[in-house]
Amino acid sequence: MISLIFLFWLLQSLVPLSSFDASQCHSKVQRHLYQDGNVLIAALVPLFYVFDSTTNDFSPVKQNMVQYKMRSYQFSLAFRFAIEEINRNTHILPNTSLGFHLHNVHINQRTILVGALGCLTGFENVHPNYECRSRKKITALLTGVSWATSALIGRLLNLYKYPQLTFGPFDTILNDRSQFSSLYQTAPKDISLSHGIVILMVHFSWTWVGLVLMDDHTGAESLSDLRREMDRYRICLSFVEMVPDIPIISYYEPSLKTHMQILKSSANVVIIYGDHESLLGAIMIIAEHVLNMKVWVLKSQWDETSLTKSLLFDTFHGSLIVAHHHTEVSDFRKFIQTYNPSKYPEDYFLARFWNTYFNCSFSGPDCKILGNCLPNASLDMLPKSVWEMDMTEESYNLYNSVYAVAHSLHEMTLKQVQIQPHGNGEVYTFPWELHPFLKNIQFKTGAGNIVVLDSQRKLDAEYDIINIWNFPESLRKKMKVGTFSPKAPEGQQLFLSDHMIQWAIVYTELPHSVCSESCVPGFRKSPQEGKTVCCYDCTPCPDNEISNETNMDHCVRCPESHYANTEKIHCLQKVMTFLSYEDPLGKALTCLSLGFFALTTGVLGVFVKYYNTPIVRANNQALTYILLITLTFCFLCPLLFFGHPNTVTCILQQSSFGVLFTVALSTVLSKTITVVLAFKITFPGRLIRWIMISRAPNFIIPVCTLIQLVLCGIWLSTSPPYVDSDAYSEHGHIIIICNKGSSIAFHSVLFYLCSMALGSYTVAYLSRNLPDTFNEAKFITFSMLVFFSVWITFLPVYHSTKGKLMVAMEVFSILASSAGLLGCIFFPKCYIILFRPQRNVLYHVRNKAP
């Protein structure tokens, strides 16, 4: 009978075993893990999400698919590790054992609230204000990772004053004590995160970047902070994509729009700033379509294991992560290595791991693992794309949250012992009594980091710069390549080992991300109309301006004593120069001046030698000598314009020029009048006779000269010429010149000379028909025409030239007008004296007379 019963029991046990399907364990969802203790701490971990996998909306059968979040599973391990570590520590709650209640929840409002109520009451299907648990109450509830989850639970717990600690990123909304008076945030504040990201952009000279972030209050705050920092460092946004806050099952269309915007943008660097589930959907779309064409700069709160693909290099290979700095917890890796189904058989999720990756079999519907699997199997043997051994940022916050509750309980226990020294040492209290201790708690972790829950006393976070290596994807590694410390002095906040960074495979060198290429020295940035300051054209610097740095907004003008080199990147010292005898132009003009001086002296010698001949004696011999001597000095006058100017030479240049030419022209005028009077004496009137007897023509020279002396005196007394410098006329030189002082006085002198020349020309022209033998009128007419033409031409040319050419122009005009007088008046006579002497006799003159 006993054997039949045993056989029946054996058959009953074999039937379900033979009909058992392993997929039942894979679809099984474990929502609770519980460990008893004197004091309980609860945690809500978003371990999975469920979505409808039915592609046809009219399908009569709806199929739900469960997808687990590997990163969240580490949260539960960090939670258990902290509980066990505290229970082994004799310095924290020595007479108390910590237990836990771990809820794995699906991300939607209903399951989150049900989970929270389940933690508080002990049952899932309960009504508020009813408790079905024993005396062991939940001391605190740990929630995360998104702010929305914590806020939803926080409003419920706030009604009952239950302590709530969040292990997600710090959020300003949760910091509102009027709404969440029972909520504490373990994560450090991200006060300097935007500054750190921008400093990273500056380090790599990335001035043209894209930005993807959540369309919520956190996104708005982050965008404001980033824009402020970017404006400070002249970094521009190519695009800003705000991803709507929608469930992950609806992310495809908006994420595809984000994907298209990223592909269309010319920016090679994209900042993904956020930690929400909806952004994860956008990231997954990007990972599917954008293969190593961009450099991604990410916040640390991402589940990289959800981004894997069967490719040698994934999209995010070479990305940079700006993560909160925390020292590794020494025993956590050892804990994970020893965490296996035989030690923790109640963990169904762990059993799924062993079945999937280590070829282990399930024992039956209880989903426990049999021993027929890979020996010494451990979580650290899983591919890096599936499991991450290093403690993540949220896991570290969760670990610190457990310690914060434990330290607060410890402080509260000490206080109870002080009040009741003869008590039994058990911790029993109402949860809301823990608030004063949580608010004031400050402790140092085993890793050496200080943990503070009060947001007013939180320290500014430090950050690690992490580079993702993934080649191939099963060997994914996060390599720390630098740090950012906001407390460091300006310019020393960022430390980066550039040589350690692996970039995306399309880049063989440091990636480049700019709207416009850098303007090299010698050029300046010229903004493009209607575009940001990062988009510009490069314009060469104007004359005598330089830019000696890259991307200068404005060129810098060189001082007057310097000039810009050809490349316009340096200011060079200008060379002092002037019209000297050594210059080719100076040599030529000096030779002309001395040549004409010698020629005039020769003409004077000829006239002195043949002083007794009719052609010399005609037309007032004394005036001829005066004119020749004056012309001699006129040809020497240009020598005052050569050499280094000084005050004396500047004054002599203009005064001697004016006076000498006045004497020469007044002499010509006197000769002209003398010629006319000589022929009018044949029939002299009373006036003509008086003029000839009184020698009135001889007074023309002193009177005209006196007028010129008065003009020069007024000039020199009011605004005399002075030594000046011209730094702009000739590139690379400062020309020392004589400034005329008064432009009106200078032009008055010229006008007076031209008036005398015009008068001589008029008189000579009227007497052109007198007998040729004694008539100089034609020669004087031509000489005055030359003189007048030279100085009329001189004015526009003089004012259109600069520097030494202006001086040379004045010298040339003096030589040309003097040569005109010499050539037109005296060369014909010299020709007769030297080459036609037979015409220079009185007999020939008489025979030619009518």
pLDDT, one tens digit per residue, over 665-688 is 888 888 777 766 666 555 555 555
Specify the pLDDT at position 730.
Answer: 80
Sign of CA dihedral 732, 738, 742, 744: negative
3-state SS assignment for residue 831: helix
For the chain, what percent of residues have pLDDT higher than 70?
79
How confident is the model over 286-340, as pLDDT tens digits? 766 666 678 889 886 566 555 545 444 567 788 899 988 888 888 899 999 888 8
Q: Which of 372-381, 547-556, 610-619 has the highest mean pLDDT?
A: 547-556
| 365: helix, strand or coil | coil
Tell whether the model's pLDDT for residue 226 goes beyond 90.
yes
Residue 442 to residues 406, 415, 445, 451, 803, Cα–Cα distance (Å): 12, 17, 10, 6, 80
The whole-angstrom separation of Cα 609 and Cα 501 is 101
Which pTM was predicted?
0.70
- pLDDT at residue 304, as a whole number: 59
Which residue has better confidence, 632 or 47? 632
Q: What is the mean pLDDT of residues 426-431?
A: 65
Question: pLDDT-derived band of residue 381, with 50, 70 and 90 as boundaries?
Answer: confident
pLDDT tens profile 540-555:
999 889 998 988 989 9
The pLDDT tens digits for 774-792 are 567 778 888 888 888 888 8
Please report the pLDDT score of residue 197 as a whole number.
94
Average pLDDT over residues 77-102: 91
Residue 217 confidence (pLDDT): 85
Q: What is the pLDDT of residue 375?
A: 75
Is residue 362 scored above 70 in pLDDT? yes
Residue carrying the six token digits 């009978």: 1
Instruction: Please give the angle made by the CA atoms of 191, 192 and 197, to the nearest 5 degrees.
Output: 135
Three-state secondary-structure class, residue 186: coil
Instruction: Write out pLDDT tens, residues 120-153.
Output: 666 555 445 444 444 467 889 999 788 888 888 8
Cross-strand bridge partners of residue 52: 64
Average pLDDT, the chain: 80
Beta strand ranges found along 215-317 (DSSP E) = 236-243, 269-273, 295-299
Q: Are 31 and 111 in contact (CB under 8 A)?
A: no
In this predicted structure, what is the pLDDT of residue 2?
A: 38
Cα dist. 528→514, 515, 532, 535 in Å? Answer: 14, 11, 8, 6
Nearest-angstrom CA–CA distance, 548 and 785 = 56
The SS3 assignment for 343 reads coil
> Would you state the pLDDT for residue 314?
65
What is the pLDDT at residue 131? 47
Statement: residue 63 has pLDDT above 70: no
Distance CA 275, CA 369 (A): 35
Q: Of residues 376 and 54, which shows the higher confidence score? A: 376
DSSP letters along 143-165, please?
E-SSHHHHHHHHHHHHHHT--EE
C-alpha distances (whole Å) from 803 to each of 174, 340, 798 are: 76, 94, 10
Tell me which range, 214-218, 278-282, 365-369, is most confidently predicted by mean pLDDT. Answer: 214-218
Q: Tell me the mean pLDDT in the region 181-186.
A: 92
Tokens, residue 700: 């023309």
Is the pLDDT at 483 greater than 90? The verdict is: yes
CA distance 368 to 25: 9
Least confident of 233-242, 386-395, 837-846: 837-846
d(CA 203, CA 177): 39
pLDDT for position 110: 67
pLDDT confidence tier of residue 743, bands split at 50, 70 and 90: confident
Please choose, from the candidates 147, 153, 83, the residue with its C-alpha nearest in 3D space to the C-alpha of residue 118: 153
CA distances from 188 to 169, 193, 327, 705 (A): 8, 11, 14, 97
> How much is the pLDDT for 400?
93
Q: How far apart are CA 671 and CA 689, in angstroms?
A: 17
Q: What are phi and psi of 358, to 5 degrees?
A: -120, 15
Pairing of strands 295-299, 320-324: parallel
Q: Is 309 exposed, middle or buried (0-12, 13-18, 19+ CB in 10 A)?
A: middle
Q: Which of 243-257, 347-361, 701-715 has the lowest mean pLDDT?
A: 243-257
Given a cut of 50, whether residue 850 has pLDDT beyond it is no
Please indicate whether residue 20 or residue 275 has the higher confidence score (pLDDT): 275
